[in-house]
Every structure is written in structure tokens, then in C-alpha cells.
Copies of this chain bind each other. A is one copy, B any other.
């Protein structure tokens, strides 16, 4: 474990500006961990900055449960649609587009442009729906390797992700040790706990038991399981925030004008959760949600090594930055330390930062100066 010098965030920070999404098709079938084979697939992606002549400045950004390929910038025809990690990507930002070529993609099984459950099943001509296979973190990394091939990238300077994205950054070091030089694993865990799985299962059951789910074939019925998705997202948000943050942000405050002794919105926290739930239910695909949570549940690289995470990671050649946040109770710092300890046991090169942050699991998306400074400092070592 090496220490990181904390450097201030540079003052010259800009957005990457207007960006465009791209799409690439892969005709060669993709064998999945489940045993299923995806006959062909497309990936939606975006890039920021330029690949240098040596092709050694590429960073892959992996998304979490509800993310996608629109990581930074905005669309010319929709300036308000700003990338989900825009605060960290851009000229002078920690993922400095003056130095790095940044790639974001929508994962296989997603609902933002890559092949997923709402895509047409070539065998039937109808949406895949429930028949879309369950994809795993390993499968995603395999599909991302195809994208790297397409872009002419032999090895990533770094793969980075938070939460489920961090699991992909970790998996890259095991699936393709020669194709990743640095793995930045943020707010992640080496596998879910029983409690993590429990929350996921309640969310899944909310969706599956929604009468509008129709066994996953709701597309054909012209409906969407909005009730279930809404509940899943409300529950998710509870686990993304910290108890303290909720207390500070909402406390027991009552929404102005709200009635009482009834069941409409009364406390502000209720208003927030229902708003977040409604917003999400209006746009996200239920079958994608189910599969993203299953990918989380299944991720367990140590399982094939008699639960010895160090053994699972022994083949990795990358250097690591592991980051956790003090108030994250979904994937607490103790879970990140499991990864760090395994790497230390192997004598591998790992830096670890435990960031004091009030924002719980969501901290990895926030504009936390200390956190961004750690990323910035680490990436200065990757490519000065």
C-alpha cells in the first residue's frame, strides 16, 4: 500500500461540452457465464478526449445499477441532459480529457441503447423481455473487451467505477490481467452480504409481483410495472443515503401544506422518495433492473477460490486504487478493506483512501474535494 499526496483540485475545470453517443455492433456470439449465448449484440458508448498515438491513455468508466454511457458533457439538442459523472470528467478535471481518452458505455442488458431486454429478439422478432439472459459482471467485462478491440485499445490505462462499476473495475484485473494497468475500485465490495441481497430481493419482488410485469413480457401488453419500479427505487434511495445525511437534509420536517393523519405525503423524506421513485419508474426498464441486481448478487470472485479473495486476485497485474466513504452503509469501508487486505496479502500495489463524507453510498457521485483530489493525484501517477 502506498500513500497518496493530496493535491488541490485545479481551478481550471471545464465540461467536455457537447457530446454524441455512438453505437457498435458485434456479430460474433457472446458466451455468457450462465451457459446461454447471446447471438449478437450492440453497445452504446461515448468517448471524451483523444486516444494518443501510443494508445496508452484510455480510461474505461463502468456504470452502476442505473447508469449508462452518457458519463460527461451534454447533448447539443438537449443541454440539460448532463452526464452522470460530469463533475469528474473534463479538461482539468480528475479524469482530465486533455490527457486521457475516456470511454463510457451502457452495459449489456441495459436500457439506454445497448442490447437489452427491450431489444428485439432475433429469434422471435419481438422484445426479448423475460427471455433476455441474466448477465454477470464477468459477461460485462467480456463485452467491454470487445469494445476495447473495436476502439483499438490493447490495454486500458485505467478502468474505474463506483459500486457495481467498481466490481467491473475489479473483474477486469482478473479476466484480462494484461489489458488493464490500473483499477480504480470506488465504493464497492468483493461480494454482496446477505443484507445487500435481501434489499435487492425485496426490490425484485416489488417488480415481479406488480400485475403489470406480466412475467417480464409487459412490452407486448403496452404497460410497464411502474408500481414495482417505483418501490424498488424508493428502497434503493434509502440505502444510497446515510442516516445522518437524511436527518440533516429532511429530518422530521413536514412538507409545507401537507395534511396530517392521512396517507398522502406528509414528511419531506416521503416527498423526496416518492419523487425519486416516480421519476425512475417513468424511464427505467424493469427487466434491466432485475438483471442489474442479479449481477450484483452473483459477483463473488473468491467463490471459485474457496472464498480466498487473495487467491482470486493473485493473477491481477494492475495497480489498484480502492476508495471508500465513511458514511456508506451499503458498501461500508470494511468491505473495501477486504479488497485492500487481499491485495496487500499478495504484495500487490494498492493505494487506499477512506474518505470522510456525509453522503453515504452516493458519495462516489458527489463533488467531494478530498475524493476528487485523491483520484486526480492517482491519475497523475498513471499519466503525468
Contacts and interface: CB of A to CB of B under 8 A. Distances in A.
Interface in A294-326: 294, 297, 300, 303
A137 to B, nearest CB: 13
Given A195-B246, A247-B194, A252-B192, A234 B300 contact: no
Interface in A164-222: 191-195, 197-199, 201-202, 204-206, 208-211
Contacts of A197: 252, 267, 269-270
A11 interface: no
Nearest to A34: B261
A69 interface: no
Number of copies of this kind of chain in the complex: 2
Nearest to A201: B270
Interface residues of A, number: 53
Most buried by B among A197, A202, A204: A202
A44 interface: no
A262 interface: yes
Contacts of A204: 263
Contact of A209 (B230, B243, B251): B230
B134 A246 contact: no
A91 interface: no
A358 interface: no
A269 B134 CA distance: 20
Interface string A239-281: 0010100110111100000001111001101100110010000
A238 B269 contact: no
Contact of A234 (B134, B201, B230, B274): B201
Contacts of A103: none
Contact of A269 (B194, B231, B252, B262): B194
Contacts of A92: none
14 contacts: A34-B260, A35-B261, A134-B261, A191-B252, A194-B269, A195-B243, A198-B238, A198-B269, A201-B269, A202-B231, A202-B234, A205-B234, A209-B230, A252-B300
Interface of A: 34-36, 133-134, 191-195, 197-199, 201-202, 204-206, 208-211, 227, 230-231, 234-235, 237-238, 241, 243, 246-247, 249-252, 260-263, 266-267, 269-270, 273-274, 277, 290, 294, 297, 300, 303
